[in-house]
């Protein structure tokens, strides 16, 4: 569209203007004649090629695309930064998960470059900071540019008042004083569709990035670095993979563990539910929170990988029973464990006169049938041991006639659990109902543990028997049972063939003979010679009557070349620990013994299950919940989509000025003249009613022209839209017949 650059409304007084400026740039009060080309203001002059034939004083309305171009750049940066942050909150850009990417070969694929994601996140934060700073100013720029089209593209000339146009020109959507006027019912005087849209976009744009900053909590995570097999452990699903020559080896190993058990020593394989690294000891076993044995150090952490290991929890319970509750025919039960030791089988000395002891141990179940099952499912079983302890001497520490009878029950639960890792916050998982092949699902952070580099345990064997056994009867068949339960292993270690109570008298005799018969010792007095260690002695918190310390030694005392007491006294004092002390100590001792038995049994198995570890490296990523991502995404859409629509709106129509700014309002005021708005002090603009009566719509008030080309004329109020013609359509009209 071509327009002449004059306004039909009002006039401008030039009395006070300098003569040169009045002559060159202002219309006189008496004429509205068109200016010649050299009289046009510099801001309105068109280049010669854009002039119409015979109309050198006119110029064309133009379209402006720079606002749309910069808005597209702004939107692209805003969407890019938000998309990067939202995506990295859940997964890396080039992988499916932040977890390790594992292949069958147990190695990481090429191209696992998490540093790229960290660079993307850093760039997104920088861009987001920039966007948050320019959002409100740029929204205001777009709205000011759209206001030009809005003012000139109304349906009629009175659709907007001058006050409404001034509100848009003042960009009062950023002025808090406008909201005060609106609350007082001033929307009809000030408001418009564009103003409402501008306020909405500004409010959303102003709050979106503070909200995003609140919801966005950057966090540091671990990402895979290198995968390595760090251990090979026993597998409850592969119990058959063990040699045929190791029958009884776990009993020997357990017996040695009983002898060396230190209640104050930290047990690396002793875990607790609900805690990671656990410095637990055998002394306070009953005070631990659901303790269990696992064939890895307590708190072992697999890092970014998910790995599973077997766990065994055995808990003992003890109670005193009556004579009729003790199995009377245990010796004759096929497959049962039975042992009977007494001082009657030993040669009596003067020191042992009128002092006797006896212990009967019985497990009436068919112990030749192992309780363990070769399975990856959870398994539970119970074992029961009966003890009859009888010690008779002149002291008041003797047992009742018939002995002290106990029923000892050990309940065992075994299965698999998830080792501590970053995904479960470093806490060992509970025992699983089953370790299925799809336990990891579709996850790639769980390498297959079945393909392990195997190592084989070195088994200890029973030492050679000596003579002088106190054994009256014992079951040897239990020793050959494969995969014994923890209580059976404990019973065999304490009372089975080769146990302390069987072998100590003969060893004591050898030691005594060696000391006494050696030359020079006839008149010596030697105290505190440790010649042996008693099993479970230290698990009674060091209350041994043999020695007032926490060592497991059995001592000899030589006075004048003679021993002050014989082996039976040592055995009696060891047996007295089982009935003289608090029953809680007995329960704790057997629970700790079951733990040691489980440990030795698991270590006697061939390790076939691999354990892999990758502690990973630190990387910073955004931390947002799914709900936060949805909320922020909706808020961003609420202001970006209208903003983009406004930018497209600014490009859709030719315009008479770039922005509805102070210069545009200056020209409108000049068209109205100082008769309406003289240059006086304005104390209260709200009281100027003329602003509500004067139309503010820029229209085409020109005539059809000379018949060859239609020339428009800018004015306010009456007329047609300024968007009816552009330069191209005008040329088409000139060339038409």
pLDDT digits (tens, 9 = 90+) for 327-338: 988 888 888 899
Residue 8 lies in a domain: no
SS3 string of 509-554? HHHHHHHHCCCCCCCCCEEEEEEEECCCHHHHCCCCCCCCCCCCEE
Residue 574 has pLDDT above 80, yes or no: yes
Q: Using one digit for the tens of pLDDT, what is the confidence trace for 159-193?
A: 788 888 888 888 888 887 777 777 777 788 888 88
Q: Using one digit for the tens of pLDDT, what is the confidence trace for 20-71?
A: 433 333 334 444 444 444 456 666 665 655 555 445 456 677 788 899 999 9
CA distances from 601 to 242, 432, 459, 590 (A): 11, 21, 11, 16
Per the CB < 8 A criterion, the answer to whether 357 and 471 are in contact is no
CA dist., res. 488 & res. 526, Å (int):
39
Q: Using one digit for the tens of pLDDT, what is the confidence trace for 640-649?
A: 999 999 999 9
Give the per-residue pLDDT at 476. 66
For residues 187 and 308, membership in a common domain is answered with: no
Where helices occur in 216-275 by DSSP H, the ranges are 249-260
Per the CB < 8 A criterion, the answer to whether 696 and 192 are in contact is no
Q: Using one digit for the tens of pLDDT, what is the confidence trace for 406-459?
A: 999 999 999 999 999 988 989 999 999 998 877 776 556 787 777 555 544 444
Give ∠ CA 569-575-576 in degrees, rounded to 5.
90
The residue whose two tokens read 């570890």 is: 613
Residue 678 lies in a domain: no
> What are the E-state strand segments in 395-457?
404-418
Average pLDDT of the segment spanning 593-618: 89
Please name which of 467, 497, 583, 471 lies closest in space to residue 255, comparing C-alpha atoms: 497
Q: Using one digit for the tens of pLDDT, what is the confidence trace for 88-130?
A: 888 887 777 676 554 433 445 444 567 788 888 989 999 999 9
pTM: 0.66
- The residues, any chain, with a CB within 8 Å of residue 357's CB and separated by 6 or more, are 342, 343, 390, 391, 392, 568, 571, 572, 575
- The number of beta carbons lying within 10 Å of the beta carbon of residue 8 is 16
CA distances from 431 to 276, 306, 311, 379, 413 (A): 15, 15, 7, 10, 9
For residues 445 and 399, membership in a common domain is answered with: yes
CA dist., res. 126 & res. 574, Å (int):
74
Q: Using one digit for the tens of pLDDT, what is the confidence trace for 469-491?
A: 454 555 567 777 888 899 999 99
CA distances from 605 to 430, 456, 458, 520, 651 (A): 23, 8, 10, 51, 80
Residue 286 lies in a domain: yes
Tell me the residue range of the domain where 571 lies.
228-613
Tokens of 672: 């109205």
For residues 204 and 128, membership in a common domain is answered with: yes
CA dist., res. 644 & res. 76, Å (int):
11
Residue 647 lies in a domain: yes
CA dist., res. 535 & res. 499, Å (int):
9
pLDDT band for 14, please (50, 70, 90 cuts): very low
Residue 41 lies in a domain: no
- The residues, any chain, with a CB within 8 Å of residue 101's CB and separated by 6 or more, are 95, 108, 109, 112, 224, 444
For residues 570 and 626, membership in a common domain is answered with: no
CA dist., res. 407 & res. 294, Å (int):
27
CA dist., res. 438 & res. 362, Å (int):
44
- The number of beta carbons lying within 10 Å of the beta carbon of residue 471 is 18
Per the CB < 8 A criterion, the answer to whether 694 and 672 are in contact is yes
For residues 121 and 262, membership in a common domain is answered with: no
Residue 326: how many CA atoms within 13 Å on its side-chain side?
A: 20
585, 613, 641 - which closes a domain: 613
Tokens of 626: 């799914």
| Beta strands 711-716 and 2-4, pairing class | parallel
Sheet holding 2-4, edge to edge: 59-60, 2-4, 711-716, 698-700
Q: Using one digit for the tens of pLDDT, what is the confidence trace for 518-544?
A: 655 555 666 667 777 888 887 875 434
| CA 469 from centroid of its chain's CA atoms | 61
Average pLDDT of the segment spanning 133-141: 92
User: Is the pLDDT higher at 141 or at 18?
Assistant: 141
For residues 429 and 469, membership in a common domain is answered with: yes
Helix (H) or strand (E) holding 149: helix 114-152
Tokens of 153: 């593209």
For residue 55, the 8-state DSSP code is: B
587, 613, 639 - which closes a domain: 613
- The three-class DSSP label of residue 61 is coil
Residue 131 lies in a domain: yes
Per the CB < 8 A criterion, the answer to whether 455 and 607 are in contact is yes
For residues 275 and 321, membership in a common domain is answered with: yes
Number of domains the chain contains: 2
Tokens of 132: 């948050």
For residues 511 and 624, membership in a common domain is answered with: no
CA dist., res. 15 & res. 365, Å (int):
125
For residues 88 and 109, membership in a common domain is answered with: yes
> What are the E-state strand segments in 545-651?
553-559, 562-563, 609-613, 617-621
Q: Using one digit for the tens of pLDDT, what is the confidence trace for 644-685?
A: 999 999 888 888 888 787 888 888 877 777 667 776 666 677
pLDDT > 70 in the chain, percent? 72
Residue 1 lies in a domain: no
- The residues, any chain, with a CB within 8 Å of residue 174's CB and separated by 6 or more, are 136, 140, 202
Per the CB < 8 A criterion, the answer to whether 454 and 229 are in contact is no
Tokens of 681: 């002090």
For residues 353 and 294, membership in a common domain is answered with: yes
For residues 367 and 497, membership in a common domain is answered with: yes
b/e string for 609-623 if b means 16 or more Cβ within 10 A?
bbbbbbbbeebebbb
586, 613, 640 - which closes a domain: 613
For residues 249 and 374, membership in a common domain is answered with: yes
Residue 336 lies in a domain: yes
The residue whose two tokens read 């006697």 is: 604
Sheet holding 291-293, edge to edge: 270-272, 291-293, 308-320, 404-418, 379-392, 356-363, 337-342, 471-474
């Amino acid at each position: 569209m071509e327009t002449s650059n004059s306004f039909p409304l009002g006039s401008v007084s030039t009395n006070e203007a300098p003569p040169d400026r009045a002559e060159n740039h202002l219309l006189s009060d008496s004429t509205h004649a068109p200016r010649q080309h050299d009289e046009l203001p510099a801001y309105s002059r068109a280049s010669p090629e854009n002039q119409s034939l015979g109309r050198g004083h006119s110029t064309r309305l133009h379209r402006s695309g720079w606002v749309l171009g910069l808005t597209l750049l702004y939107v692209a940066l805003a969407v890019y930064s938000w998309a990067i942050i939202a995506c990295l909150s859940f997964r890396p850009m080039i992988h499916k998960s932040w977890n390790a990417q594992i292949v069958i070969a147990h190695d990481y694929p090429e191209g696992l470059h998490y540093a790229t994601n960290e660079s993307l996140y850093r760039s997104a934060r920088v861009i987001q900071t920039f966007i948050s700073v320019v959002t409100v100013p740029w929204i205001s720029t777009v709205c000011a540019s759209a206001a030009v089209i809005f003012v000139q593209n109304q349906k009629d000339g009175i659709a907007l008042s001058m006050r409404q146009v001034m509100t848009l020109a003042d960009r009062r959507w950023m002025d808090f004083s406008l909201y005060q006027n609106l609350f007082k019912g001033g929307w009809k005087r000030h408001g418009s569709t564009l103003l409402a849209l501008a306020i909405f976009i500004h409010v959303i744009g102003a709050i979106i990035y503070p909200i995003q900053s609140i919801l966005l909590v950057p966090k540091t995570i671990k990402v895979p670095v290198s995968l390595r097999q760090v251990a090979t452990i026993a597998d409850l699903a592969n119990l058959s993979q063990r040699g045929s020559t190791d029958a009884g080896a776990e009993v020997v190993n357990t017996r040695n563990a009983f002898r060396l058990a230190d209640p104050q020593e930290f047990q690396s394989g002793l875990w607790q539910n609900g805690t990671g690294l656990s410095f637990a000891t055998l002394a306070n076993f009953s005070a631990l929170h659901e303790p269990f044995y696992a064939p890895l150090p307590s708190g072992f952490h697999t890092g970014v990988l998910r790995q599973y290991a077997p766990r065994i929890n055995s808990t003992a319970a003890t109670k005193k029973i009556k004579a009729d509750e003790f199995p009377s025919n245990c010796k004759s039960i096929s497959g049962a464990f039975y042992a009977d030791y007494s001082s009657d089988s030993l040669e009596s000395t003067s020191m042992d006169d009128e002092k006797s002891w006896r212990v009967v141990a019985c497990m009436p179940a068919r112990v030749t049938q192992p309780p363990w099952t070769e399975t990856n499912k959870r398994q539970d079983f119970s074992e029961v041991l009966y003890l009859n302890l009888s010690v008779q001497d002149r002291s008041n520490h003797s047992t009742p006639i018939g002995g002290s009878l106990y029923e000892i029950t050990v309940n065992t639960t075994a299965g698999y659990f998830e080792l501590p890792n970053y995904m479960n916050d470093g806490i060992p998982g509970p025992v699983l109902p089953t370790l299925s092949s799809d336990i990891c699902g579709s996850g790639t952070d769980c390498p297959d543990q079945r393909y392990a580099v195997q190592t084989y345990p070195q088994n200890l064997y029973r030492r050679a028997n000596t003579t002088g056994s106190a054994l009256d009867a014992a079951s040897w068949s239990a020793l050959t049972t494969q995969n014994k339960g923890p209580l059976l292993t404990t019973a065999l270690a304490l009372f089975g063939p080769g146990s302390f109570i069987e072998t100590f008298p003969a060893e004591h005799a050898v030691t005594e003979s060696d000391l006494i018969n050696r030359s020079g010792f006839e008149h010596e007095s030697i105290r505190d010679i440790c010649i042996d260690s008693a099993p479970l002695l230290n698990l009674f918190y060091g209350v041994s009557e043999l020695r007032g310390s926490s060592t497991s030694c059995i001592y000899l005392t030589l006075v004048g070349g003679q021993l002050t007491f014989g082996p039976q006294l040592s055995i009696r004092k060891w047996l007295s620990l089982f009935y003289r002390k608090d029953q809680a100590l007995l329960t704790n001792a057997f629970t700790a013994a079951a733990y040691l038995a489980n440990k030795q049994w698991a270590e006697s198995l061939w390790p076939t299950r691999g354990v892999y570890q990758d502690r990973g490296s630190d990387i910073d990523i955004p931390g947002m919940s799914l709900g936060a991502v949805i909320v922020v995404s909706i808020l961003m859409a609420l202001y970006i989509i209208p903003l983009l629509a406004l930018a497209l709106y600014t490009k859709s129509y030719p315009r008479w000025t770039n922005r509805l700014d102070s210069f545009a309002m200056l020209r409108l005021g000049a068209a109205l003249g100082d008769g309406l708005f003289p240059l006086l002090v304005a104390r209260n603009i709200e009281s100027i009613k003329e602003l509500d009566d004067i139309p503010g719509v820029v229209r085409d008030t020109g005539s059809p022209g000379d018949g060859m080309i239609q020339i428009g004329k800018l004015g306010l109020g009456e007329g047609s839209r300024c968007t009816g013609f552009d330069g191209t359509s005008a040329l088409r009209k000139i060339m038409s017949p």
